Structure 1
Amino acid sequence: MSVVTVQTTPFAGQKPGTSGLRKKVKVFQQPHYTENFVQAIFTAMPGGSDGKTIVVGGDGRYYSPEVVQIILRLAAGNGIKHVVVGQHGVLSTPAVSALIRSLKTDGGILLTASHNPGGPENDFGIKFNTANGGPAPEDVTDKIYKVTEGITSYKQVELPDLDISKLGEFTHGPLKVTIVDSVSNYIELLKTIFDFERIKKWLHETSPKPTVLFDALNGVTGPYGRAIFVEELGLPESSIQNATPLPDFGGLHPDPNLTYAHTLVERVERENILFGAASDGDGDRNMIYGKGAFVTPSDSVAIIADWAEKAIPYFKGGVKGLARSMPTSGAIDLVAKAKGLEVFEVPTGWKFFGNLMDAGRLSICGEESFGTGSDHIREKDGVWAVVAWLAILAAANEEKPGTTIDDVLLAHYNVYGRSFFSRYDYEEVESAGAEALVNNLREEFAKPDFVGQSFKATTSDTSFTVKEAADFAYTDPVDGSVSTKQGLYIKFTDGSRIIFRLSGTGSSGATVRLYVEKYSKNAAEYGEDAQVGLKPLIEVALSLSKLQDYIKRDKPTVIT
């Protein structure tokens, strides 16, 4: 079978965001559109594509099977030697990272739009991960984008479709293709990290037995959840729900937050379930929710870091360092200070953690967008975080039987104080209004009298005085690379923060994110609802920025 060169022309806007290229399915279905982007990945691969081995898999969303076949044809045309594919084209994002690392491949292509809705009218995405298992760094994604802007042809071998439902090793034209079980490699990795017997002892020998519910939201983690909760931990099938991956996620929005995972929250409250958790479409995000207790992602990563050496065998030798994305609350900073560890503040995007991990300076990290992980792979890992919380509860109940998620939270606040945190998402707003909002804030920050100004809440006498305001920039301490315009922030004299950021994870329009944070050492406030405690700060953020005027929205799409 010979290589065929297919003539094409560029498509505008094929610039990878923080997690690859995301567009509507119908955009990817245009003739040559997907082929152009895949060709750009192969052209931009570090060291070229000839003779390389890659992993291919995704969350199983609509149009994935067809794109797997496109990738195989172009891989053959670009000299790729070996492609490892998840059965049915399905692999969670953490599982892809784990396979890249355990098989020592040259990278991988992930077919996912993460937490975005799926189906023929919704979203699709393609992301490239490099040989360390993590998202491609900016120099690679910039090269991919540059190729897409000038592409005139792509190379493929006109192969018939391969049956990707059958496990095994196959010769497919010039390619070696290995179809692997989607779950087993990842589960074996988790068993080297956690003490499953300790967790099982807590789940089965405690009276009354702790109740557990894991919601996969019809995303990729259903089979992983069944393997862990039912097969490994011996829990009943009722401990998992929405556990069958569906191309349209069964109409659910596979984003694990209080808005979209409401069926989990309702069942946890109705049935008094001790431990509830959800994951997103591709398995890299998580939400922890117990009866009456929502764990913010900022608190979650701080508590995992605090308990790591006690509860998770992987960290028995010590934690190397901690990190968070800039918008994430400073809760983990307090843990790092108490333990004498390095702590890093990086831009949003998991690739920024990868350099620190590869340099041996980072063990545990997280983002407020429900992403939590460690250096066991180079992606955030929702299922890992869920099992980490089971490990923490098992350890906490050895110390004090009957400990709940709420007890763990309050114990943490009593030691470190509480960082009240909330995020307002305004999704699919007009791009022009979003850009005008950001530009106006930059102009305000540049005024010589902005620092020192006081802003008063609209429904109370509470006021906040500006201490510092800027557009976050980051210099990587490992390779010296610089990332600018990563989010506009205001720090007030009382330690509170407001952050405004345009997100790169949507497939159309713009998503504006507003973050607010207030730190408290007043124990009387620890049990307070975050929206109550943060109300004055939220009012100041909205009035100061004129956000609602610019984007023409009275209310956010999602509050977390």
Structure 2
Amino acid sequence: MIKFGTDGWRGVIADDFTFENLKIVSQAIALYLKKKKDTPRVVIGYDARFLSREFATICALTLGANKIKVVISQNYVPSPIVSFNSLKGNYDLGIMITASHNPAQFNGLKIKTPQGAAADESLTNEIEKLLYKGKIKSISWEEAKKEGLIEVKEITSCCVNFLKGFVNLKKIRKLKLKLLVDVMYGAGDKFIEKVISPSSFKIDYLHNEFNPSFGGIHPEPTSNNLKELIEKVKKYNYDLGVALDGDGDRLAVVTPKIGFIDAQVLLPLLAIHVIKNRKEKGGIGKTVVGSNLIDEVALSLGVECYETRVGFKHISNLFQKGLICIGGEEAGGIGLKRYIPERDGTASFLLLLEMIAYEKKDLESLLKELWKKYGRWYYQRTSISLKDMKRKSLRKLKIPHHLLGKKVERVNTLDGIKLITKDTWLMFRKSGTEPIIRIYAEAKTKKETVSLLNLGKELVYAL
């Protein structure tokens, strides 16, 4: 079945995500565009997954057969590159062939709006309504090139050049840091280095070779997937380690002593920098599974904290409405005002370097100051396969009155079921990108967070 989820359409290669199904989706996109404009233009990128280039080519040919002019990247690129080109190149849509952080057997298609944002439900619903409507058109590569319908082009340098002016490179280049970058076999490549060069940085890489199997791990920057990065940062005394997910729009950071640091901590820390040092105006955007630390920082800064459903497309909407100057999701995606209304792992890390340069303190010192002022929250998540479920509906979940002896004061059903006590929370949500139920928890101690997750599993298995 072809169905758009939290961020695009994804499926298992050769099962749901096939060349034929991609032609059906591409034809629907063509019909959508032709309803809007006689001669639309589309930019297409693709990641380093198995058959991504071939899938991108099929998509381009189907659009070209519908007399839509297509620019296709000459090499694999991170998703933010397509968003940037969609915005700055005045394209009518951007298309990215990627399954983001999903396991290697998946691939997918993301749609970017002319504003560079993730397509929301109103757009993808229109496209879904056009599936199977009419005959799928086709054209050969040679004919499409001859008619000027397809152009293969380098699409990264425009974004790299923009980022050189977006952050304060003069300050960043004064830093002398030893970095270890884990590309996770994805499309992140050497974009950080391209922006800051020339510099006094020493940059080494992990997993930056082409490997569509992702070395047997999910290309998602979680602590479980970054054990080698964490170990090597500590062992070889790197100042910082950074990991980018499969399509380069999410990140996590590692330090020698503290270890793994996710977006639940990076977002509020960067928010302080953006509002204090860069003097940006606006609130902070987070999803319903965002840390309470984000709310505490927003309150201290005197700005609004906006809460959305899970999925960066909802954060994108806040950017487009001019409500926020920074926003992010728990899975590592952070977006920034005056750039694109989308997440970008590279841009977020550049902003982190800028913050270190402004504050003249290392990241571990800044984190200790943050936790001393606001307290420390411990967030974790786990998941349960739907195959393990007796029933698949969370609506049948038995809501407890207490969580580990603490009264449930509020139930948030914005996106799933979130049980909230005075200083903890536990949430259940069916994933929009994988056949799993996610369980999220946050508390003031690691032990309590783990206990909450175990309780969550018990409640789900009791369905």
TM-score bin, normalised by smaller chain: over 0.9
How many Å separate the matches in 2 of 1:249 and 1:361?
Answer: 37
Q: Cα deviations across residues 186-217 of structure 1 (Å, max 9, x unaligned)?
A: 211211211122112121xxxxxx32111111
Tell me which moved more, 373-382 or 177-186.
177-186
Structure 1's 539 and 31: CA in aligned 2 closer, same or farther, altered over 3 A?
Answer: closer
Partner of 1:554 in structure 2? none
Q: Does 1:336 align with 2:319?
A: no
Find the counterpart in structure 1 of residue 346 from structure 2. 383
The one-letter amino acid paired with 1:321 is G
Q: Displacement of 1:265 after TM fit?
A: 0.8
The 5 Å alignment of 1:267-286 reads 267-286=232-251
Contact 1:350 1:379 in 2 (8 A): yes
Alignment partner, residue 421 of structure 1: 379
- Counterpart residue number, 1:483: none
Corresponding residue of 1:372: 334
Q: Distance in 1 between matches of 2:18 and 2:163?
A: 40
The offset of 1:223, in angstroms, is: 3.1
Q: CA deviation at 1:180?
A: 2.9
Superposition pairs for residues 113-512 of structure 1, below 5 Å?
113-118=99-104, 122-148=105-131, 150-160=132-142, 172-203=145-176, 210-228=177-195, 231-236=197-202, 238-293=203-258, 294-311=260-277, 315-316=278-279, 318-375=280-337, 376-397=339-360, 403-426=361-384, 428-430=385-387, 432-433=389-390, 435-436=392-393, 438-441=394-397, 444-445=398-399, 453-456=401-404, 463-472=405-414, 486-492=415-421, 494-506=422-434, 510-512=435-437
Partner of 1:558: none
Separation of aligned partners in 2, 1:125 and 1:417? 39
The whole-number CA distance in structure 1 between the counterparts of 2:213 and 2:451 is: 39
CA distance in structure 2 between the aligned counterparts of 1:380 and 1:468, rounded to whole angstroms: 30
Quick one: distance in 2 between partners of 1:18 and 1:60?
Answer: 21
Distance 2:456 2:41 in 1: 49
In the alignment, what sits opposite 1:165?
none
The one-character-per-residue Cα deviations of 1:392-419 (angstroms, maximum 9, x if unpaired) are 222222xxxxx43322111012222223
Q: Quickly say closer, same or farther: Cα 1:181–1:252, change in 2 above 3 A.
A: farther
**Are the aligned partners of 1:86 and 1:182 in contact in 2 as well (CA < 8 Å)?**
yes
Question: Deviation at 1:360?
Answer: 1.4
Q: 1:273 to 1:266 in 2, by over 3 A?
A: same
Query: Are 1:27 and 1:33, in contact at CA under 8 Å, matched by a contact in 2?
Result: no
Match of 1:518 among 443, 448, 453: 443
Q: Distance in 2 between matches of 1:541 and 1:250?
A: 31
Distance 1:533 1:406, change over 3 A: farther
* Match for residue 27 of structure 1 among 3, 15, 31: 15
1:222 is paired with a residue whose SS is coil
Report the secondary structure of 2:158's partner residue.
helix
Letter of the 1:141 partner, please give it: T
Offset at 1:253?
2.7
Is 1:103 the equivalent of 2:89? yes
- One-letter amino acid of the structure 2 residue matched with residue 517 of structure 1: E
Q: Cα–Cα, structure 1 residues 173 and 432, in superposed 2: closer, same or farther, change >3 Å?
A: farther
Query: Which residue identity is paired with 1:259?
Result: N
Change (3 A) 1:249 1:184: farther
Using the alignment, how far apart are the partners of 1:93 and 1:421 within structure 2? 27
Q: Sequence identity, in percent?
A: 25
Alpha-carbon distance, 1:378 to partner: 2.2
- State the distance in 1 between where 2:379 and 2:274 align: 23
Contact 2:102 2:220 (C-alpha < 8 Å) held by counterparts? yes
Over alpha carbons, which structure has the higher Rg? 1
TM-score (norm 2): 0.92
Cα distance per residue 1:289-345 (max 9 Å; x no partner): 10122223111100000111455xxx34x2322110101112222222222222210
Counterpart residue number, 1:7: none
Q: Distance in 1 between matches of 2:334 and 2:369?
A: 21
Query: Structure 1 pair 143/421, CA: closer, same or farther in 2 (3 Å)?
Result: same
Q: Which runs of 5+ in 1 are unaligned?
A: 1-12, 162-170, 204-209, 398-402, 457-462, 473-485, 520-529, 551-560
Compute the RMSD of aligned alpha carbons. Answer: 2.3
What is the alpha-carbon distance in structure 1 between the residues aligned to residue 180 and residue 217 of structure 2? Answer: 17
Letter in 2 for 1:467: E
Native 8 Å contact 1:328 1:367 kept in 2: yes
Q: CA deviation at 1:432?
A: 5.0
- Report how far residue 377 of structure 1 moved: 0.7
* Residue 78 of structure 2 corresponds to residue 92 of structure 1: yes
Instruction: Work out the CA distance in 2 between the residues paired with 1:435 and 1:45.
Output: 36
Contact 2:270 2:352 in 1 (8 A): yes
Report how far residue 499 of structure 1 moved. 0.6
The one-letter code matched in structure 2 to 1:199 is I
**Distance in structure 2 (CA, Å) of the matches to 1:86 and 1:533:** 47
How many Å separate the matches in 1 of 2:427 and 2:386? Answer: 18
In the alignment, what sits opposite 1:460?
A: none
Q: Any idea what the Cα deviations from partners look like across 1:63-94, whole Å, max 9, x if unmatched? A: 122222212221122221x3222113x22111
Cα displacement (A) at 1:257: 1.2
CA distance in 1 between counterparts of 2:210 and 2:117 reads 24
